[in-house]
Amino acid sequence: MTWKEINEKYVRPATSAWEAGRVEEAEAIFKEGLAATGNDGYVALQYGNCLEATGRLEEAKERYELALCKLPMEKYKQQAKEGLDRVARSLAVSKAGESAPPKRRMPGTRIGLISCTKRKKDYVCTARELYSESPNFNWWLSFAEENYARTYVISAKHGLVELTQILHPYERRLDEYDEGERQAWASFIAARLRLEGVGAEHTVYIAANEMYASHLSRALQDYGIKAVAFTLEDRPTPDRLR
């Protein structure tokens, strides 16, 4: 789908509906557009603008982070960066310098993140099934479900992924992004985890290569969340979980 088609089918109708006060209708169009385009950056950017304009700052921040990660053109990336800066300043003022509390507490203290894999099923299915072509993924998933309170997949394309989330087969690697995009990708995942209730009392265990793990570890530390990294080839025992 071309940019013009995306704009005509999703962005213009959604922004028009929002400006007319039909927020539920607008959000349905924005969400449909994100789903249909694989989280298109321009759709996310315009969604963020609408959310920011109505004071929904945490949600706007998520959309701007997604836009920054996905947008290919520098002028639109700059708009996403400026949106993030505005939202960050507004949140800092409204919360008197304190970080936003999580929406809910995550039970248990161990959270697992398993990297996406090159080997995938060739049909639409859950994330659990899509990556099951990889023996390393299967080992880590079994280990995670025995030892962690909750487990997610980290995807270069989709960010933080629930195991039950339906995905299409895709090819995307983190090394295809530039450094700024990798940082935005990691910040997006860390922000999502924070909103899921992951905080300073948790430890996030990352099973991924060095590029994934290093960026995520730094982003999580920015939120005061401890991170421990393993490679996918590691086979840790439960006593290594501290």
| pLDDT at 120 > cutoff 70 | yes
What confidence tens digit (pLDDT) does each residue in 196-231 have?
788 888 999 999 999 999 999 998 988 888 999 888
From the CB of residue 54, how many other CB atoms can be counted at a distance below 10 Å?
11
| pLDDT at 99 > cutoff 70 | no
Q: How far apart are CA 20 and CA 37, in angstroms?
A: 25
| Alpha-carbon radius of gyration of the chain | 18
Token pair, residue 155, equals 């995807």
CA 147 to chain centre: 23
Domain ranges of the chain: 3-94, 110-240
Give percent of the chain above pLDDT 70.
91
Rounded to an integer, the average pLDDT of 13-23 is 83
Q: How far apart are CA 83 and CA 60, in angstroms?
A: 8
From the CB of residue 133, how many other CB atoms can be counted at a distance below 10 Å?
14
The confidence score (pLDDT) of residue 47 equals 93
Q: How far apart are CA 57 and CA 79, in angstroms?
A: 16
Q: 68 with 81: CB under 8 angstroms? A: yes
Judge if 3-94 and 110-240 fold alike in CATH terms: no
The confidence score (pLDDT) of residue 95 equals 53
Rounded to an integer, the average pLDDT of 14-32 is 87
Domain made up of 110-240: CATH architecture: 3-Layer(aba) Sandwich (3.40)
From the CB of residue 27, how many other CB atoms can be counted at a distance below 10 Å?
17
Give the model's confidence band at 97: pLDDT under 50 very low, under 70 low, under 90 confident, else very high: very low
| CATH superfamily of the 3-94 domain | Tetratricopeptide repeat domain (1.25.40.10)
